[in-house]
Chains A and B, each alone.
Chain A
Amino acid sequence: MFAKEWRSELRTRYALNTLALFAVNTLVVVSASLGPLGAAPGRSSETLPVLLWLILLFAAAAGLPRAFVHEEETQTATALRLAATPSALFCGKLAYALTLLAALEALVAPLFLAVMNLDVARPGLLAATLAAGGFGLAAGSTLVAAIIAQARGKGTLFAVLSFPVLLPLLLLAVELTRGAFAGGGSQGQGGQGGAGVVLMQLLLYDGAVTTAGLMLFPVVWNP
């Protein structure tokens, strides 16, 4: 399933190009409009993580819904229903979204750091956050994409539906990225044991959403 996704993706390179271009465009807009302020010390480590995750979220929203929308549009969905079990299909789509997002993060994160002149105090934490956040983003969007593919007004609907689901993920990821940029513990109330606890919560979110996806996907997919 995973191999099939990439094969058809590489044939068109639609999602990959769109995602990359969209992310870079957003990054340029953000960076250019912030100008030298982006590099200003002090507040930057507070606000920049938000921008980084917004870029990732919107790029994901631009590219990921296609995973299922494309199947419905080209009417290959029925063939897929026959060929693969729902859980295999979900895992395949999830792995596809995951690798796509990983590629995106590998492109955006270094560029972001370079353009914003940021020093990362804890690179390991940043990498872990990107990995865990990317996973949650992929899992949440894959299920929502499966839902909206069967509805009208797909693009806007995806943004509307995924936002409340992904909001906790974003809040946690932003908090962690802040910690990674600034160094030291998380800046939340009383620290709460620092970044490790927040990272655990992020992983918990990933696990919960993936499990929900595995359980709910069969009923979404099969009439």
Chain B
Amino acid sequence: MKKRTAFAAFRWLLWLWLAAVIVGAFAYAPLAAKFIGQSSRILFFHVPMAWAAFIAFIAAGVSSLRYLFGNRPRRDPRHDRAARAAIELGLLFGLLATVTGAVWSRIMWGAWWNWDPRQTSIVMALIFNGAYLALRDAVEDAEKRARLAAAYAALGLVVTPFFFFVVPRITFSLHPEPVINASGQVDMNPRMLQVLLASGAGFTALFFWLHDLRTRVLAVADQALEAAAAGAPRAGIVGAWGSAPPHITEPGTAADPATASQRTSN
């Protein structure tokens, strides 16, 4: 019960924090110089979204490596679910970052799209995430699916640095770089920076919260599938909590060998 209270507190804190970021973005931070109209305010959401997509990408790669090479000889499906949840969220945040970026680009550069290196890399990330999910859909067997998808995500982790460090250097970029620039200095109004960092922290927490939710939903789905295969319909609800809450575990279910084995396997 203590854990759930902590979760609820965290959730409320996160809502308040993000609400404060929104207020701060419009009322506290000044407008940036040389930006048309109010367009610079999108920065406080666009950059953290891209950041969250980046974290998602790294998280998926790390989870995949842990799935493949950790826990030998028996692989832990938890890491596979974590990787999949991260990829899905990466797709979501990546799309949001792309759309907000395109809107801003239309205002500032006059075109929705111009193959800026960062646009190239986010599109590659989106395609990669889509390809990962397509690969998962194309494999029937759960263990094989997890293994192949994890290998693919790990390959993606190897290729990513080329998008972040190499490709931007061979093509011309219009992207404003006050934060991520070559000289390593932050060139930004302090108030704007405060809101941006707060927003970045908020989005990071939002990502991990959503990731936790999604991983648990996937765990329930997996349990339900296994239970359906084993013919024990109750087991799905039990497994989702890691350890069974007392009010759900009924005497009959716990004695059922199929249910018991699933709980230990999780």
Contacts and interface: CB of A to CB of B under 8 A. Distances in A.
A150 B144 contact: yes
Interface in A166-192: 167-168, 171-172, 175, 186, 188-189, 192
A151 B247 CA distance: 42
Interface of B: 68-69, 120, 124-125, 127-128, 130-131, 134-135, 138-140, 143-144, 147-148, 150-152, 154-156, 158-159, 161-163, 166-167, 169-173
B131 A161 contact: yes
A164 interface: yes
A121 interface: no
Given A188-B172, A189-B173, A164 B159 contact: yes
Contact of B143 (A147, A175, A223): A223
A216 B154 contact: yes
Contacts of B125: 164
**Main SS of the interface on chain B?**
helix
A152 interface: yes
Nearest to A146: B151
A31 to B, nearest CB: 26
**Main SS of the interface on chain A?**
helix
Contacts of A147: 135, 148, 151-152
Given A220-B151, A223-B143, A168 B131 contact: no
A109 interface: no
Given A151-B135, A171-B170, A189-B171, A216 B151 contact: yes
Nearest to B69: A219
Contacts of B131: 160-161, 163-164
Interface stretch (A36-44, A94-102, A201-209): A201-209
